[in-house]
Chains A and B, each alone.
Chain A
Amino acid sequence: MGYSLPTTAWPSSYGEHARARKGFFTDTSVCIGCKACEVACKEWNDVPARNGAQPAYFTGESYDNTIDLGADTWRHVAFVEQRKALDVDDGMGMSLAEAAALEGMARSEGLATYQDGEGMRWLMASDVCKHCTHAACLEVCPTGSLFRTEFGTVVVQEDICNGCGYCVPACPFGVLDQRQDDGRVWKCTLCYDRLKDDKEPACAQACPTNSIQYGDLDELRERADERLQQLTDAGLEQARLYGADDQDGVGGFGAFFLLLDEPEAYHLPPDPVDTTRDLGGIYRATAAAAVALVAGLTAAVLGGRR
């Protein structure tokens, strides 16, 4: 196992009760946008639908009418329509090799599909709480409602959350969200209750194309590396893993992704940072500034006495 992603509380605090760190590998290259994950998640976790006072409406955002992760949406499928101008026929100022490469790329990506030579692509991706290695939400939670489970996942305990909302701005992805009529924070638990029974999370089980894969994080990372290699070999040069790097700003995700374009294309932050990462430095700088201020004031006062 090439990877071990210890978090602050896992596995050390669990001792012999610690389990292998679990996570999701969401391979968006095979997502067909069926939204079975959204529905299965809501069914299993009894997440309310958006009807009644604030009913759902046609958003115009392609086939996406849930728009974002939130207290009532723990899995969310993004739909990104892209039309790429690939003027393959226009060889002006382009070497034959370049033109051939562009043509090849267009074909391999299924882009050169329209009679006018313009390529169409419809990206679909199921988003979810990232279960960060360094989870700011958990760090800032004053009640201990947010905690690290024995599976290395991050879970909110609904009976402890007091609705203070500190975790909401702490999350670099905007996942944490307070429920309107309730005030408490709700998010993906990676189906903690199912994990305890050795069952896979509801979304992963419902996914018909295996776009959502659940398992030991180490193993998922290896699988993802292989898959990326396969796609890169097939000419999908923009394909990349997102959140599979333990050196990134949150120390890697427990639920990471294979994307076919830049994270921004999916409305994901390109370089997420644990918002508490620099707190130590900030405190030190603040303390230093305070010391300097006091010293200055003291000097001024003492100097004034002269």
Chain B
Amino acid sequence: MPGLGTSFGRGGATTFQQDLQNSDCILIMGSNMAEQHPVGFQWVIEAKERGAKVIHVDPRYTRTSAMADLHVPIRGGTDIAFLGGLARYILENDRDFREYVRHYTNAHVIIKDGYQGPEAQPDDVGAAQASEAGSRAGGKPTGLFSGWQADEQLYRIDTWGYAGTSGETAGGGKVQAADVSGEQAHGAHGVNLDRGEPPQVDFDLEHPNCVFQILRRHFARYTPEMVADVCGVPEEQFVRVAEWLCDNSGRERTSAFVYAVGWTQHTHGVQNIRAASIVQLLLGNIGRPGGGIMALRGHANIQGSTDIPTLYNILPGYIPMPHPQQTPTLATFVEKNGPKTGAWGSLDTYMTSLLKAWFGEAATAENDFCFNHLPRIDGDHSIYPTMVRMIEGQCKGLFAVGQNPVVGSANARLQREALSSLEWLVVRDLAEIETASFWYDSPEIEAGETSPEQIGTEIFFLPAASHTEKDGTFTNTQRLLQWHHKAVESPEDCRSELHFMYHLGKRIKARVEGSTDPIDRPILDVTWDYPTQGPDDEPDAEAVLQEIGGRHADGSYVGKYQELAADGSTACGSWIHAGIYNDGENQTARKKPHTEQNWIAPEWGWAWPSNRHILYNRASADPEGNPWSERKRYVWWSAEEGKWQSVGDDVDFPPTKAPDYVPEEDAEGMAAMRGTNPFILHPDGLGWLYAPTGLVDGPLPTHYEPHESPVDNALYGQRANPTRQEFDREDNPYHPPGSDVFPFVLSTYRLTEHHTAGGMSRTLPYLAELQPELFVEVSPELAQERGLRHADWATIVTARTAIEARVMVTDRVRPMTIGSHPPRTVHQVGLPYHWGRNGIAKGDAANELVSMVLDLNVHIAEYKVLTCDVRPGRRPRGKDLTAYVEGYRRRAGVLHEARHPGD
């Protein structure tokens, strides 16, 4: 989650759901919280009962809108225009929390002279940059930051840095720029500062190149009128939102933001979150009770799957994956990836402890703690490029574990093409999902384009145990780990993931036993000896948790991450989880009822890091260490005791560091953090209004249209995010911008009644009957325009393919009026994506329609906005379908060539 990581230091929600009850105003945007997080939504209801205002900004009126005080319909994909509008409103009306902004954010830091924002006119920019964009734009500013390399389609970011620092963070080629993950993983890297101090500052916030002034210039044109033109939100409605937020922020009051995949699944998703972070920093709402940004993760353990990652480019605890050339030794790795100051200043201890956990006795100071046993990343190995590599024959096998790509991933047809190109495929799931059955049942087989005889992939379907059938943890959306105990034996030969991975590892180790080939050395050295129990040799999940939580050389458990050492005397599988087995107790299994402890409930499960619930909570006190107000008291400095106090949470700050502490010359690590700086993961301890490094598409969020959009960018010459990751392939065709063959905006989403790609819900009778069929939500106006009849069938078409769904004509979807000269209407169409060909509730998969086009920062697809056509009636069958879609492609002039520069 680099949006939050670059802004605040850690890639996780800054607060927890229970804290929403303390909010005075809650803005839910990019999230349908009542439907997707109904249990957590009780805290929004609680806040509302206490008098909070609840605002829902969303293209559709959903179950969340129904509970809100105000629903603001917005044109899909224009969130940055809206949030930038909020930032401008706050700045131009002096509604920011100035004392907070001055001391706790980098507003006062002066940026390099060479920095130029997207407001530059085409003439101001070097000839090599975006001249084409400028000429196409008719006098609009370029929309590009300084450093744009039109030929390479990437930014060199050395002009984005703090004035007086060296700019050594420029990436190499485009692929490397995305993959040198030191810059990407959490934004903490690449800025090395003496004593943690930015070299040039202006605490009056008046220097023209200080972040505060850059911000004002950057958002100057994001006026309420512009918001109305771009987003379709009437001015008075926008101003009401802005006023509610401003009125409910400051010393006495706090506002919270809630988002989910409605913000992330865009070609500018990370910048959506950056925009929200800027607004919340300006309003002084981070690190305070009732404030913060609540990132709602997609389902039960998504947060856990990035903390101890299933991602290719980070190691546990957001440590970057080593680079093949730049980091030949542990020392150079630490040098390259750990700034000297802040909590990342101790990267050597985190990394050494991780290597000790993995390689045990074999890891010694002499062999660099087996650092060179770690694989290196040489390119972009995220999921979509990997699927393409399968088609190209470069990737031969795949484990799909709890993943149903032919329903859940963009461009489902391409996903099947990739799976068909494999030599082998292992699918582990609760039921036979479409990813396991595509070889005998798929739209291509239905259309006669392929047959089981033509698919050579050897497929192994292995039934999995469900969470009630095994021990383990869930890490929920707020970084809270909760232990679940095995309640029932799994049926027949269903096994847990832990069982599968452990025994697979055993067999691989047995295979290479006795080998002297150096390539087998890491496998021989890796520790792989968890105790097992029962007739099926189920590994002990608590033993794994103990390894994650860490031990000292004498076998005692690590209490907190500050105990980790770089000399090999500690082993810890994930530094952010250090202390999870503190005092020999499984901290995640604590289940003291909320009625028996304070409202923070610190004895219910365990939140990383160090059971901290509100992060950066030093910011809940003023620079002198006093609470900003009694009403919002959370953490404060006690001069008598010489330490920080709190209402019951862990303090996210060195416990005895006084507010007036100033680092000495040459101070490093946490010693280089001033007593006033709450964002201790950042090398300067500040909240980053401006992100000098960490993102590939700019230090500030900028409004771009989605890759497929019916309109031009009203603000800039650059239409869509210039760094977006495209796949210009015949099997992944895109719609031309503004195509009237695909005139409507389509958004995919989920329903309460089903679970993601349906593997856990379409097969269950009680859930299947609640939403038995795929439907498409359209406004009465669009229904009339296209002759769609309620509850009848409709066909939804993109250049990828066509699918059919039942028609839901509803006032909850409204056409948007945008632009002013002249105004035009944009119709939006809603499509839940849970359905597939298997299970009880069957239907076409919405992701058949979606193309692969990604946010380069995180390689996430733009599921939330694409263009489409909608027609009454069922879709054609068999070869007729192929011809039908081909007709659309021809009429739309769909091209497969690389995009034009400046588009």
Interface centre among B68, B772, B775 (most CB of A within 10 A): B772
Asked if B837 is an interface residue, CB under 8 A from chain A, the answer is no
Within 8 A of A (CB), among B491-532: none
Closest to A57 in B: B772
A36-44, A133-141, A177-185, A261-269 - interface stretch: A36-44
By a CB distance below 8 angstroms, the chain B residues around A60 are 790-791, 806, 808
By a CB distance below 8 angstroms, the chain B residues around A298 are none
CB 8 Å contact bits of A17-59 with B (1 = contact, 0 = none): 0000000000000101111101100110000111100011111
B806 in contact with A58 (CB, 8 Å):
yes
Question: Could you tell me the distance in whole angstroms from the C-beta of A49 to the nearest C-beta in chain B?
Answer: 3
Within 8 A of A (CB), among B756-784: 765-773, 775
Question: Could you tell me the distance in whole angstroms from the C-beta of B795 to the nearest C-beta in chain A?
Answer: 16
By a CB distance below 8 angstroms, the chain A residues around B753 are 35
Given contacts A33-B752, A34-B752, A110-B70, contact A57 B38 (CB under 8 A): no
A120 in contact with B61 (CB, 8 Å):
yes
By a CB distance below 8 angstroms, the chain A residues around B810 are 62, 81
Closest to B840 in A: A51
By a CB distance below 8 angstroms, the chain B residues around A114 are 73, 814
By a CB distance below 8 angstroms, the chain A residues around B233 are 115
B790 in contact with A122 (CB, 8 Å):
no
Q: How far, in whole Å, are A209 and B42 apart by their CA atoms in the complex?
A: 5
A124 in contact with B66 (CB, 8 Å):
yes
B791 in contact with A65 (CB, 8 Å):
no
Given contacts A59-B791, A65-B770, contact A209 B41 (CB under 8 A): yes
Asked if B72 is an interface residue, CB under 8 A from chain A, the answer is yes
By a CB distance below 8 angstroms, the chain A residues around B73 are 113-115
Question: Could you tell me the distance in whole angstroms from the C-beta of A209 to the nearest C-beta in chain B?
Answer: 5
Question: Could you tell me the distance in whole angstroms from the C-beta of B98 to the nearest C-beta in chain A?
Answer: 30
By a CB distance below 8 angstroms, the chain A residues around B234 are 115
How many positions in chain A have a CB within 8 Å of any CB in the partner chain?
A: 39
Asked if A208 is an interface residue, CB under 8 A from chain B, the answer is yes
B812 in contact with A115 (CB, 8 Å):
no
Contact of A32 among B34, B775, B790 (CB under 8 A): B34
Q: How far, in whole Å, are A30 and B46 apart by their CA atoms in the complex?
A: 10
Asked if A83 is an interface residue, CB under 8 A from chain B, the answer is yes
Asked if A145 is an interface residue, CB under 8 A from chain B, the answer is no
Q: How far, in whole Å, are A50 and B840 apart by their CA atoms in the complex?
A: 11
Asked if A277 is an interface residue, CB under 8 A from chain B, the answer is no
B769 in contact with A115 (CB, 8 Å):
no
Question: Could you tell me the distance in whole angstroms from the C-beta of B472 to the nearest C-beta in chain A?
Answer: 23
Asked if A199 is an interface residue, CB under 8 A from chain B, the answer is no
Asked if A121 is an interface residue, CB under 8 A from chain B, the answer is yes
A113 in contact with B38 (CB, 8 Å):
no
Contact of B42 among A59, A110, A208 (CB under 8 A): A208
B806 in contact with A56 (CB, 8 Å):
no
Asked if B487 is an interface residue, CB under 8 A from chain A, the answer is no
B811 in contact with A81 (CB, 8 Å):
yes
Question: Could you tell me the distance in whole angstroms from the C-beta of A64 to the nearest C-beta in chain B?
Answer: 9
By a CB distance below 8 angstroms, the chain A residues around B65 are 113, 120, 122
Asked if B864 is an interface residue, CB under 8 A from chain A, the answer is no
By a CB distance below 8 angstroms, the chain B residues around A124 are 63, 66
By a CB distance below 8 angstroms, the chain B residues around A66 are 769-770
Given contacts A51-B769, A122-B66, A122-B812, contact A34 B806 (CB under 8 A): no
A113 in contact with B806 (CB, 8 Å):
no
A122 in contact with B769 (CB, 8 Å):
no
Given contacts A32-B41, A113-B71, A115-B817, contact A121 B66 (CB under 8 A): yes
A122 in contact with B773 (CB, 8 Å):
no
Given contacts A32-B67, A58-B773, contact A122 B767 (CB under 8 A): no
Asked if A210 is an interface residue, CB under 8 A from chain B, the answer is yes
By a CB distance below 8 angstroms, the chain B residues around A48 are 765
Interface residues on B, range: 35 or more
Closest to A64 in B: B770
Question: Could you tell me the distance in whole angstroms from the C-beta of A299 to the nearest C-beta in chain B?
Answer: 63
By a CB distance below 8 angstroms, the chain B residues around A38 are 766, 770
By a CB distance below 8 angstroms, the chain B residues around A36 are 38
Closest to A55 in B: B772
B34 in contact with A56 (CB, 8 Å):
no
Given contacts A39-B767, A113-B70, A115-B232, contact A56 B42 (CB under 8 A): no
B773 in contact with A57 (CB, 8 Å):
yes
B771 in contact with A65 (CB, 8 Å):
yes
A65 in contact with B766 (CB, 8 Å):
no
Asked if B713 is an interface residue, CB under 8 A from chain A, the answer is no
Given contacts A81-B810, A110-B68, A115-B234, contact A49 B772 (CB under 8 A): no
Question: Could you tell me the distance in whole angstroms from the C-beta of B846 to the nearest C-beta in chain A?
Answer: 15
Question: Could you tell me the distance in whole angstroms from the C-beta of B124 to the nearest C-beta in chain A?
Answer: 37
Within 8 A of B (CB), among A161-181: none
Q: How far, in whole Å, are A115 and B427 apart by their CA atoms in the complex?
A: 48
By a CB distance below 8 angstroms, the chain B residues around A57 are 772-773
Asked if B732 is an interface residue, CB under 8 A from chain A, the answer is no
Closest to B780 in A: A83
A49 in contact with B768 (CB, 8 Å):
yes
Q: How far, in whole Å, are A75 and B771 apart by their CA atoms in the complex?
A: 16
CB 8 Å contact bits of B792-816 with A (1 = contact, 0 = none): 0000000000000010101110100
Q: How far, in whole Å, are A49 and B73 apart by their CA atoms in the complex?
A: 36
B772 in contact with A56 (CB, 8 Å):
yes
Given contacts A110-B70, A113-B72, contact A56 B768 (CB under 8 A): yes
Asked if B664 is an interface residue, CB under 8 A from chain A, the answer is no
B41 in contact with A208 (CB, 8 Å):
yes
By a CB distance below 8 angstroms, the chain B residues around A50 are 769
Asked if B35 is an interface residue, CB under 8 A from chain A, the answer is yes
Asked if B446 is an interface residue, CB under 8 A from chain A, the answer is no
Interface centre among B68, B751, B766, B773 (most CB of A within 10 A): B766
B769 in contact with A210 (CB, 8 Å):
no
Closest to B774 in A: A58
Q: How far, in whole Å, are A49 and B71 apart by their CA atoms in the complex?
A: 35
Question: Could you tell me the distance in whole angstroms from the C-beta of A134 to the nearest C-beta in chain B?
Answer: 33
Q: How far, in whole Å, are A50 and B767 apart by their CA atoms in the complex?
A: 10
Interface centre among A30, A48, A59, A60 (most CB of B within 10 A): A60
A34 in contact with B34 (CB, 8 Å):
yes
By a CB distance below 8 angstroms, the chain A residues around B70 are 110, 113
By a CB distance below 8 angstroms, the chain A residues around B63 are 32-34, 63, 122, 124
Closest to B41 in A: A32
By a CB distance below 8 angstroms, the chain A residues around B790 are 60
By a CB distance below 8 angstroms, the chain B residues around A55 are 769, 772, 840
A39 in contact with B766 (CB, 8 Å):
yes
By a CB distance below 8 angstroms, the chain A residues around B752 are 33-35
Asked if B237 is an interface residue, CB under 8 A from chain A, the answer is yes
Interface centre among A39, A57, A113 (most CB of B within 10 A): A113
CB 8 Å contact bits of A189-218 with B (1 = contact, 0 = none): 000000000000000000011100000000
By a CB distance below 8 angstroms, the chain A residues around B772 are 55-58, 65
Asked if B624 is an interface residue, CB under 8 A from chain A, the answer is no
By a CB distance below 8 angstroms, the chain A residues around B885 are none
Contact of B45 among A30, A42, A81, A122 (CB under 8 A): A30
Asked if B441 is an interface residue, CB under 8 A from chain A, the answer is no
Closest to A47 in B: B766
Contact of A120 among B69, B773, B808, B812 (CB under 8 A): B812
By a CB distance below 8 angstroms, the chain A residues around B898 are none
Q: How far, in whole Å, are A135 and B578 apart by their CA atoms in the complex?
A: 61
Within 8 A of A (CB), among B800-855: 806, 808, 810-812, 814, 817, 840
A sample of 30 inter-chain contacts (CB < 8 A) reads: A32-B63, A32-B64, A33-B752, A34-B38, A35-B770, A49-B766, A49-B769, A51-B765, A51-B769, A51-B840, A56-B768, A56-B770, A58-B775, A58-B806, A60-B791, A63-B63, A63-B771, A65-B770, A65-B772, A66-B769, A81-B811, A83-B811, A110-B68, A113-B73, A115-B234, A115-B237, A120-B61, A122-B65, A208-B38, A208-B39
> What are the 4 closest A-B residue pairs judged by CB atoms, nearest first?
A60-B791, A49-B765, A56-B769, A122-B66
Not counting A33-B63, A114-B814, A208-B41, a sample of 13 additional A-B residue pairs whose C-beta atoms are within 8 angstroms of each other reads: A32-B35, A32-B67, A34-B35, A34-B752, A49-B769, A51-B769, A58-B772, A60-B808, A107-B69, A113-B65, A120-B65, A124-B63, A209-B38
